[in-house]
Structure 1
């Protein structure tokens, strides 16, 4: 298996929508109820929303043997908004490769720390990669409560 990381572009909207939808509906079913997953990701992939959203996001996409399997976004403040990997690619180093790319990008763009609002599932991934929980919170999404964690990682010069 070869994992290639490249910059995310607006044309990736179909793949990003599919990865997000599958990661939420399949990859978090042990942590969130069906009602919570539907509130989070909807009942179908909203391609028009992803097409619009990708015009404003910076980040990276991971490809395994040429097929998109994960993505991660970051802004200039170091906020990681989206971090998703297909369940079939979980545990293969995809998330770590994406996080490494994001960390290097953040340092190159002057960020001194990374922050994120991590899901129950993403929390352990981030913790394994040196992040700490600042606080637990509950948010309302379409009338359904979801638990997540405000997290951060201080960056050393040069990343990681």
Structure 2
């Protein structure tokens, strides 16, 4: 597995990862109505392309297949963190999280934050994040549930280069 920086042209495969993660993995924690509101079939592709280009995520590849992606912004906010629904529990998320920590330390960040789905909350907790606040965002008129989570970074969080 390789973790690399985003490249123009990755957008279509990142969308596939995004949709599969939500429709496959999160379906155990959210209703079909919530899943469709969060990752609708009629998602605006242009908005998606612009958004993913803006956040410039790290991309996980196995062979030539993109199997996950995650970003960390200059302020330490993790906007998107997704592993393909067909590649769960293979260490991809852990490798992406290590890369985020490495980037955060190189940027001199003192904390990481994210709005985390119910599905991803145990994974983030395993990596030292704590729930700060339960939130109930509304997407397409449907109420979802997530948690704003934070991790204070210490020197011990520095990870060896991948």
In structure 2, the partner of 1:5 is 3
Aligned partner of residue 90 in structure 2, secondary structure? coil
TM-score (norm 2): 0.92
Q: Does 1:138 align with 2:146?
A: no
Report the Cα distance in structure 2 between the residues aligned to 1:49 and 1:17, rounded to whole angstroms: 11
In structure 2, the partner of 1:62 is 60
Report the Cα distance in structure 2 between the residues aligned to 1:11 and 1:117, rounded to whole angstroms: 27
Report the Cα distance in structure 1 between the residues aligned to 2:55 and 2:9, rounded to whole angstroms: 12
RMSD of aligned alpha carbons:
1.4
Larger strand proportion of the pair: 1
Paired residues in the alignment total 158
Once structures 1 and 2 are overlaid, which stretch shifts more, 58-67 or 15-24? 58-67
**Per-residue deviation, 1:66:** 2.3
Report the Cα distance in structure 2 between the residues aligned to 1:143 and 1:54, rounded to whole angstroms: 24
In structure 1, the partner of 2:120 is 122
| Contact 2:60-2:68 at 8 Å conserved across structures | yes
**Per-residue deviation, 1:139:** 1.1
Give the unaligned 5+ runs of structure 1.
Answer: none
Q: Which aligned runs of 4 or more in structure 1 are off by greater than 4 angstroms? A: none
**Per-residue deviation, 1:125:** 0.6
| Contact 1:6-1:61 at 8 Å conserved across structures | yes
| Contact 1:131-1:152 at 8 Å conserved across structures | yes
**Per-residue deviation, 1:44:** 4.2
| Contact 2:20-2:86 at 8 Å conserved across structures | no
